[in-house]
A and B are shown apart, each in its own frame.
Chain A
Amino acid sequence: MEDWEKLKAAEKKSLEDYRTQLAMCNICAFCRIRCPVYQEVKWESVTPRGKMQILRNVVKGWIELTPGVVERIFSCTTCKICNQECDAEVYPFDILKTARREFTEKGLGPLPDERKMDRRIVEYGNPYREPREERFNWLDVEVPKNSDTLLYIGCVTAYRYGETGKAIVELLKRAGYDFTITPDESCCGMHPYWDGEVKLTADIAKSNIEIFRKTGAKRIVTACAGCYSTFKNAYPELVDNFDFELVHFSELLLDLIKEGKIKLRETGPLKVTYHDPCHLGRHSGVYDAPRAVIESIPGVELVEMEHSREDSNCCGGGGGYFTAFPENAVRIAEKRVREAEETGADVLVTTCPLCRTNLDLAIKRLDSGLRLYDLADLVLEHLE
Chain B
Amino acid sequence: MDQKEIYEALAAIVGEDDVTIDPVELLAYASDASFLRAIPVAVARPENKEEVAEILKFADENRIPVTPRGAGTSYAGQSLAYNNAILIDMVKMDKILEINTQDRVAVVQPGVIYGELNKELRKHGYCFPPDPGSAVACTVGGMVGNNASGVRALKYGATVDHVLGLEVVLPGGKIIRTGGRVWKSSSGYNLTKLFVGSEGTLGVFTEIILKITPAPKYTAMIMPVFEKYEQGLEAATEIINSGILPSAMEILDDICIMVLNSALEEKLPQAGAILFIELDGSHEEVIKEEAETVRNVCEKIGVKQIIHTTDPKRAEELWRLRHSLGNLLAKVRGENMAINSIMDFAVPISKVPEAVKEVKEIAARYQRLMAAFGHIGDGNVHMGSAINVEDPKQREMAVKFSKEAAEIIIKKYGGTLSAEHGIGMAKSAFITMEHGDTLELMRGIKRIFDPNNIMNPMVMGLTEIPRDEYVYMAGVK
Chain A residues near B (Cβ < 8 Å): 1, 3-4, 7, 19-20, 23-30, 32-33, 42-45, 47, 49-51, 53-54, 57, 60, 62-63, 66, 68-69, 72, 86-90
Given contacts A1-B262, A24-B331, contact A29 B28 (CB under 8 A): no
Q: Which of B209-217, B284-292, B321-329, B405-413 contacts A (4 or more CB under 8 A)?
A: B321-329
Determine the distance from Cα of A340 to Cα of B80 in the docked complex, in whole angstroms: 38
Does B24 belong to the interface (CB within 8 Å)? yes
B328 to chain A: which residues have CB within 8 Å? 87-88
The CA-CA distance from A263 to B339 in the complex, in Å, is 64
In angstroms, how far is the closest chain A Cβ from the Cβ of B55?
17
The 3 closest A-B pairs by CB, nearest first: A50-B28, A29-B137, A45-B28
- List 13 A-B residue pairs with CB atoms under 8 Å apart, sorted by A's residue number: A24-B330, A24-B331, A28-B137, A28-B324, A29-B71, A32-B137, A44-B29, A57-B477, A60-B476, A60-B477, A63-B23, A87-B263, A89-B330
Q: Which of B30-38, B176-184, B439-447 contacts A (4 or more CB under 8 A)?
A: B30-38
A87 close to B324 (CB less than 8 A): yes
* A68 B23 Cβ-Cβ under 8 A: yes
Q: Which of A24, A42, A53 contacts B45 (CB 8 A)?
A: A42
CB distance from B81 to the nearest CB of A (A): 12
Q: Is B20 an interface residue (CB 8 A)?
A: yes
Interface residue? B175 (CB, 8 A): no
B165 at interface, CB cutoff 8 A: no
Q: Which residue of A lies closest to B338 (CB)?
A: A26
Kindly list 13 other residue pairs between chains A and B, CB separation below 8 angstroms, not including A24-B334, A44-B29, A68-B25.
Answer: A1-B262, A4-B332, A7-B334, A23-B334, A24-B331, A26-B326, A28-B327, A33-B113, A42-B91, A43-B28, A45-B25, A54-B28, A89-B331
Chain B residue contacts of A49, Cβ below 8 A: 31
B24 partner residues in chain A, CB cutoff 8 A: 45, 54, 63, 66, 68-69, 72
Interface size on B, residues (CB 8 A): 45
* Beta-carbon contact of B25 and A32 below 8 Å: no
> Does B25 contact A27, Cβ atoms closer than 8 Å?
no
Complex interface: chain A residues within 8 A of B477 (CB): 57, 60, 62
Given contacts A1-B332, A88-B330, contact A44 B137 (CB under 8 A): no
Using Cβ atoms and an 8 Å threshold, which residues of chain A touch B137? 28-30, 32-33
Q: Residue B20 contacts which of A20, A24, A43 (CB distance < 8 angstroms)?
A: A43
Chain B residues with CB below 8 A from A3, complex form: 334
A27–B79 alpha-carbon span in the complex (Å)? 12
- Name B1-45 residues within 8 Å CB distance of A: 20, 22-25, 27-33, 43, 45
Give chain A nearest CB distance to B150 CB in angstroms: 14
Residues in A with CB closer than 8 Å to B476 are 60
Judge whether B136 and A33 touch: CB under 8 Å: yes
Let me know if B28 and A42 touch, CB within 8 A: no
8 A Cβ contacts from B140-155 to A? none
In the bound complex, what is the Cα–Cα distance between A68 and B23 (angstroms)?
8
Q: How far is the CA of A49 from the CA of B73 in the complex (A)?
A: 11
Residues of B close to A45: CB separation below 8 A:
22, 24-25, 27-28
The answer to the question of B471 belonging to the interface, with a C-beta cut-off of 8 Å to chain A, is no
Taken residue by residue from 277 to 318, chain B's Cβ proximity to chain A (1 for < 8 Å, 0 otherwise) reads as 000000000000000000000000000000000000000000
